[in-house]
Amino acid sequence: MQVDEAIARLEAERERIWLTAPEEVTALGKGIVPRGTGARGQYLSTIIFAEGEARTFADEMLWGIIRVCEDTDADLATLKAVIEQIIGYKASFFDFVSLPEAAGFTRVYVEAALACESTADLARLTHAALGYANRLHMWVDYILPWGLGDGFRRPKS
């Protein structure tokens, strides 16, 4: 996949999900888990894992790649190897937690990253992926039942 094509796809998907949650995220929030993940018949752990993967994808991996591309003289081949290994795994994990569309867009990023011919191209691509990943994370974060935390208050000192 060409870099500009991947950027266009990632940006279009970010715009598509800007005001409307992806159907797979909405379904996960309702307990629809086609992959059957979740311990002992519950799906809370699946949401927690999906939230963690979306957060680290955006906040750690993609942001880190941008910083390395823009702030260092990093070796492109090494960056590609890291992306293929670590973000490729993240794509598979998105699929595992019943977010196959997110997995697909993550794979679009990985495939295009492997086609980059410069760290400048990789940075452009990664900025587009970060825009998509941030919005995906926002929606997954939205379905997390934060109110459950009230049952786990720290003892007063």
pLDDT digits (tens, 9 = 90+) for 88-101: 999 999 999 999 99
C-alpha span between 128 and 82 (Å, rounded): 18
In a domain, 108, yes or no: yes
DSSP-derived letter for residue 146 is: G
- Predicted confidence band at 120 (pLDDT cuts at 50, 70, 90)? very high
Total number of domains constituting the chain? 1
The radius of gyration computed from the CA coordinates of the chain, to the nearest angstrom, equals 17
In a domain, 156, yes or no: no
pLDDT for residue 149 = 85
In a domain, 36, yes or no: yes
In a domain, 150, yes or no: no
In a domain, 72, yes or no: yes
Domain of residue 27, residue span:
3-145
Asked if 45 and 38 count as a contact pair (C-beta separation under 8 A), the reply is yes
In a domain, 129, yes or no: yes
The whole model's pTM is what? 0.93
User: Which phi and psi (to 5°) does residue 125 adopt?
Assistant: -60, -45
In a domain, 100, yes or no: yes
Asked if 98 and 47 count as a contact pair (C-beta separation under 8 A), the reply is no
pLDDT for residue 57 = 97
Summary mean pLDDT of the chain? 95
- Predicted confidence band at 50 (pLDDT cuts at 50, 70, 90)? very high
| pLDDT one-digit tens code per residue, 5-45 | 999 999 999 999 999 999 999 999 999 998 888 888 899 99
In a domain, 9, yes or no: yes
